[in-house]
Amino acid sequence: MNWNRLFTDLIRNGRPAYWGNWTLSPKLKPGAVGIIAPDSGEFTLVREETPGQVIGTRDVPNQWKLSSANVHRTEAKVELDGSGTDPDTGTKVTAGVEVKWEFSVMGSMASEFGIASEAYISDLTVLTRPETLKWLAEQAESVSMGSGGSIAQGFGVVTSAIYAHSGLNVGSQDNSSSFSMTGSASAVHEMLGGANGKGSFLSVNQNKSVDQHMWPYKAEALAASPIPIAYTVASFDGKLLIPNWITRLGAFEILFSNKPGCTYVTHIQLSYDTPQGRRNDEFSLTGGISKTAGNIPLSATNIHVDVKFQGVVNSDHYTFNWPSPLGQWLTGRREIEMTGVWPGQTHAAEH
């Protein structure tokens, strides 16, 4: 089971540019240099930091709660025997709470944390300075991820990380499995969504096989410091910086979809800048016909699209502009959907 891939997919429902850190590896801090496997997001550290970087921090919502659709979470008061101690207060715990996650199918997961903050590289242009780029290219070449001053996609720099005071990742390795955590109500609630770093637990229990990673990982203990749970990466294509890298990109493409039922003829004009100059393309589509404009180089900037719905008296125009597609198009792809029944209203929208 590729847990980090599943975790990343879950995160990207709300944070499209992020990778998951399922195992809670402490290596994933902003400025760390390494190799990111595009199929899993597993990070192999090459250097702990990038020269010349400045790290900033920002507040983010303090509760992180993600789960698969088929996870059932319950919470109940429990009586405890007083043998366990709340590490924050030092008191024996006789009344507590049990939080339980039930997983109906294998591959289900739950992720709950109390967030501390997000740390990030303050200025990404640092990565494109000649001396930094040269240093990064040397590191890439040392692990066969570059040559001749060029860097291969998948080698890059961690640009930001979301840090948690405490929490857990749990995934089901069997159908009908469960995992539960017990402790004082305040400590368990703090562990799963608090903002002051005082979260802890007394015991855990599981039914069937689960893959779990907890912070703090010891019972009756407080976490020593926050841990990264998700991160973003900048990679390169040669010397071209890809600010938010989530997959291998070959070229940009735009799908122009004249939806079935559309009775208009649409005229498309596409233009963009390249290091070799401005490029232009134009074509027309009839109703129900789609066309992909592909092989737009990753170095392209200022992509401009004009869509004209041909009318008898007046024609409707729609324009779309992307100044920096390498920073805006995470997947390298855009779709423009065109609809309308003549002589009625027309519509063109970006997806």
Domains of the chain: 3-242 (no CATH), 252-350 (2.60.40.1430)
Question: How far apart, in whole angstroms, are the C-alpha atoms of residue 311 and residue 264?
Answer: 8
What would the mean pLDDT of 4-32 be, rounded to a whole number? 96
pLDDT for res 66? 97
- For residue 312, what pLDDT is reported? 66
Residue 185 three-state SS: helix
Residue 77: beta bridge partners?
97
The per-residue b/e assignment along 120-143, b for 16 or more CB within 10 angstroms, e otherwise, is bbeebebbeeeebbebbbebbbee
Q: What was the pLDDT predicted at 192?
A: 96
Give me the DSSP letters along 312-328. Answer: SS--EEEEEEES-HHHH
Structure-block tokens of residue 163: 């840090």
Q: How confident is the model at residue 247, as a pLDDT?
A: 94
Mapped onto helix, strand or coil, the DSSP state of residue 52 is coil
Local structure of 213: helix, strand or coil:
strand
- Segment 221-225 shows an average pLDDT of 95
252 closest CA partner among 291, 290, 298, 292: 298
Which stretches of 32-190 are assigned E, i.e. beta strand? Answer: 33-36, 43-47, 55-58, 63-67, 71-79, 95-103, 109-121, 146-147, 150-151, 155-172, 177-183
Write down the mean pLDDT value for the chain. 94
Report the share of the chain in percent with pLDDT over 90: 84
| pLDDT value of position 94 | 81
- For 133-182, the pLDDT digits (tens) are 999 999 999 999 999 999 999 999 999 999 999 999 999 999 999 999 99
